Each structure stands twice: as C-alpha cells, then as structure tokens.
Amino acid sequence: MATVTTIPARPAKTLTPTTVRSRRKVAAYARVSTDLEEQQSSYQAQIDYYTNYIQGRADWEFVGMYADEGISGTSTKHRQGFQTMITDALAGRIDLIVTKSVSRFARNTVDSLTSVRSLKEAGVEVYFEKENIWTLDSKGELLITIMSSLAQEESRSISENVTWGHRRRFAEGKVMVPYASLLGYKKGDDGGLAVDEDQARIVRRIYREYLAGHSPKTIAAHLTEDGIPTPLGKKTWSVSTINSILRNEKYKGDALLQKTFTVDFLTKTTKRNEGEIPQYYVTGNHEAIIAPTVWDQVQHELARRSGRSRSFSHPFASKIECGCCGGWYGPKTWHAGSRYERRIWRCNRKYDPAIGQPCETKHVTEDELIAAFEQATRQLAPPPSPEVLEAALDQLGNPHALEAKLAQASSARDAVVDEINALIRSAANTDFNPDTFETDHARLEADYQHNLNTVEAIEKQLHELEAQRAAITAFHQYRSENPAISYTPEAWRALVDHATIHPDDTITITFNDGTTNRKGSN
C-alpha cells in the first residue's frame, strides 16, 4: 500500500519595512485616432485629466504620460508612445498603467492580450477606467478578451463604413487625391485639382525628355543633378517615381479611381486592384498639364520600349530593322576622335556566327534615314475625320469585349482557387484519403493553370490592342496639329513604328497607323 507524506506549506514571507512599497509608480496612456480639431481637444483633455487624477492620490506616484496622436488603434506597430510605455513598464519603471478604455489601449484583440499578458508576467497592472477592469484580477483577462473583441469589431465596422463611403464617392466620380505626392497639382479654391505651375514645369520636362529618347533612369539622374526635389521632397529621384509620373492619367486631365484597395483593416495592407473590385474612370475631371495626344504618345512609347529591351538614348534606337535577318540596327562610330569621325547605323547581327554569313544589307547614315522619313511623310494621305478614325479603331477590335472576357476568365480562375481551398479544408475535417485528395488536387491544379494561362493571354491581347489604338490615335492627332511635317525626334517617335533597310538599299518607313512607304535606291 502506497504511503502519503504531507509536505507542509512554507510560511509566507513578511515584507520588511525596507521592502514595503508605500506608493505605486503609475503612468497613463492616451490616444486619439485623427488630427481633427475636435479630437485634438479630446487628446489634451485626456492628458490633463489623468495627470490630475494620478497626482491626486497619495498612494500613487505619477511617473509620466504616454500618448499617441493621430494614430489608428488597430495595430500597436506604429504607436511610438505605446511602445515606449511597454518598454519602460517591462524595465520596472512602471507598476500600474491607467487608460480610458480597452478601445483606447488597442482595437486589435491579439495586440491587446499580448501586451496585457506580457505586462502581467512582469507584475505590471493595467486599469481600464471605463470598463472598471484591473488586469491582475482573476476575471481581468476574460473581460479583456471580450472587450477587445468588441473593440475590434467596432473597428471593422468603422473601416467598412469608411470603405463604403469612399467607394460610393468613386462611383459618383468624386476624385480623392493625395496632394502631397502628386507633382504638378495643388488643392484649388473649389476643392478640386488646380495646376501648380512651378511643379507643372517639372512634369512637362519629364514627358519632353522621355519623348526625346531619354530613359527614366537618365531623367531621374538629370533631375537629381539639378537639385530638383521629388514629389515627397527627397533629394534623389528614382526610376519608379519617373515611371509613375509617365503613367499617371491625371496629367492629361482624367482620373482612374480605386487603383488600390485595403485587404485587411487590421494590418492596413493594400494591394493593386487587378479586377477584384470595380474601378471608375473620370474623363475631363480637371485641367490637364500634358496634352492627351502627348500622353497617349508616351503610353505607346512605354509599351514599345518594354517590348524591345535595347538602348533608347537615340530616336532611331530599336526602330531600324534589318530587311535581311530581322535584327535591329545599332549605331557605330567610324574614325572616332579624328576629324573624319562619322556615325552610321548597321545591323547588330551582321557578323553574328549563328547566322552563318553576313547580312546583305548595308549601313545607313542618319541623313539617309531623315531623308526617307521626310519623303514618306510628304506622301501621306490627309488625316481622316474623327468619325473615320473612330471606325478604323473599331476595326482593330473592341477593348470592352476583351475586358468582359477577362472578367469571365478571372472569375473562373478564382472559382478554382476556392475549390482548392475547400478541398484542403475538407481534408483536415474528414477522414483523409490521400489517393482521392491527390487526384482531386491535381485536377484542380490543372484547371487553375489553364484558367491562369487564359487570363494572361487575354491580358496580353488587351494590352496590345490598347497600345495599337493609342499609337494610331497619337499618329493622327499629331498630323492634325502639325500640317507641315519635318524631321524632329518628337515627330519621328509620334509617327514612325519602324524603318526597314533592304538589301537593295531601299528603305521602308512603317507608320504607327500601319501604312508604309518605300524610298528608292540611295
């Protein structure tokens, strides 16, 4: 038979007068979520109230006020005052934290509980005045869990209401603009976009330099060297900033609404809108800085350059085609550094061993290319009427039909993703059959890949169609605005898709509208 021995409890240690703490070190925490004037007064009121409240108690020693102003409560990550308070508490500088309510402390259940538990382990208590909760109390954590969950749901509701309000305004064509990061515009007297001429000159310069053949990297370097600040006031320009300005439809007076959306109201994570939610395009919303024809020309050039990964420092770069091998011509310098120095253009693959024998095409000079261009432009037919142009654009294809096909294919892809997720969940909740699971999963993966390929193919079609339409539109608009055409880099880029050098020394100019003209022997 087992023997049970009782081990008596140890007598509780009695605090000696030297270890007794007669006063608790108390701090207060306050937070407001916006910078509005009425919230500012609430913020100051919280500070004044808790400072007087703590100092009014003889058993409490006021050690400081911690606060965050204009910060959301859904996450503690960016709340510097909160983070400093927790650090000080864990370091033993605070015994008790007093705050107005659970929602002021944190609207995220996980953040709230994690912070409370960490403080509790260190012997630090939190008092939520509104709910009358003391975290060292036996019921404290349960009440915190309930109240934090309620606060989190309140944040979710607020976020959904705000999001609904934004989307409602978008649907009505009301534009919301981040003026601080939008170069060239300021808030006008009517609350809308107004041109800031000092900044607008920079925008026009960026577009002008790009059409002159400079790359976004080169443009960024030029602006940095000239000491021009970025839209956010930084000294160094980036390629991404230049690309963003070149692609922003606001500079031609339009506005695309809901380009991004918030995925998670807690983390504030945003993502690019790729068709998950509706977008709205507002035409002629405000005064343009860049003429629509120029903007369309830039979009065409962006598409062209993305498809031809070569240098674009010169207007002829990646626009001179070899009629023998199909390669691209590049610049070559003869007699460099001498008085006989001369630049010519020659097929980059002329002596490529993979071809077998040299191309039959000869080199050309820039003067010959310019002469071919001017001869070809003189023989162009008059610009068509707007009605004829629109009919020609319709013959290319209907972008709305492609957009509908894209939406359908995207829905089919997303439906397969839902099926895959449902399959994984069912495998975890029911009797798991590996063979059946693998079969079903392989089938769904194949369906997903098929739908993904379809989506990508339609996106490519849509992109090419839009580039074609932009090129043709820019071509005819440039001609309408410039009846007498002579060679300039801008004219070349606006009108010419490419030139082809043939073995018989003739040159064919292919225009952006698809028409061609072949110049006779040199």
Identify the pLDDT of residue 204: 92
**Residues 326, 453 within the same domain:** yes
Q: Assess contact for 384 and 392: CB atoms under 8 A.
A: yes
Same domain, 128 and 190: no
Phi, psi at 96, each rounded to 5°:
-145, 135
**Does one domain contain both 35 and 83?**
yes
169 domain-assigned: no
Confidence at residue 42, expressed as pLDDT on a 0 to 100 scale: 62
DSSP at 328: B
| Within a domain: 426 | yes
Tokens of 498: 């490419």
Q: What is the pLDDT of residue 507?
A: 93
Residues 245 and 335 in one domain: no
Residue 522, C-beta contacts closer than 8 angstroms, at least 6 positions apart = 364, 368, 505, 507
Give me the CATH number covering residue 44.
Answer: 3.40.50.1390
Q: Could you tell me the sign of the dihedral formed by the alpha carbons of 278, 398, 494, 194, in that order?
A: negative
On whether both 261 and 326 belong to a single domain, the answer is no
Which of 238, 273, 290 terminates a domain? The answer is 290
Question: Is residue 12 assigned to a domain?
Answer: no
Number of domains observed in the structure of the chain: 3
Is the same domain home to 431 and 472?
Answer: yes
Q: What are phi and psi of 417, to 5 degrees?
A: -60, -45
Q: How far apart are CA 467 and CA 458, in angstroms?
A: 14
Residues 336 and 417 in one domain: yes
Indicate whether 255 belongs to any domain: yes
31: exposed, middle or buried (Cβ count in 10 Å: 0-12, 13-18, 19+): buried
Same domain, 503 and 370: yes
Pair (189, 280) in one structural domain? yes
In a domain, 170, yes or no: no
Q: What is the pLDDT of residue 316?
A: 85
Q: Are residues 247 and 331 in the same domain?
A: no
CB 127 within 8 A of CB 98: yes
- The pLDDT score that the predictor gives to residue 356 is 72
Instruction: Report residues of the chain scoring pLDDT below 50.
Output: 12-21, 34-40, 71-76, 107, 151, 154, 158-167, 169-173, 261, 263-267, 309-311, 521-522
Nearest CA to 468 out of 397, 406, 404 is that of 397
How many CB atoms are located within 10 Å of the residue 397 CB?
16
The rounded distance, in Å, linking the Cα atoms of 125 and 197 is 57
The H or E element containing residue 376 is: helix 366-378
Return the sign of the alpha-carbon dihedral for residues 181, 78, 84, 69: positive
- Among residues 269, 290, 311, the one where a domain terminates is 290
Asked if 330 and 284 sit in the same domain, the reply is no
Residue 166 falls inside a structural domain: no
User: Would you put residue 123 in left (φ > 0), alpha (ψ -120 to 50) or beta?
Assistant: left
Domain boundaries, position 496: 320-519
Answer whether residue 54 is part of any domain: yes
One domain, residues 384 and 470: yes
pLDDT digits (tens, 9 = 90+) for 245-269: 998 888 888 877 655 545 444 445 5
Task: Please say which residue of 104, 125, 158 terminates a domain.
Answer: 158
Tokens of 482: 């410039």
Provide φ and ψ at 341, rounded to 5°: -55, 135
Cut 0.75: pTM above it: no
Residue 42 domain flag: yes
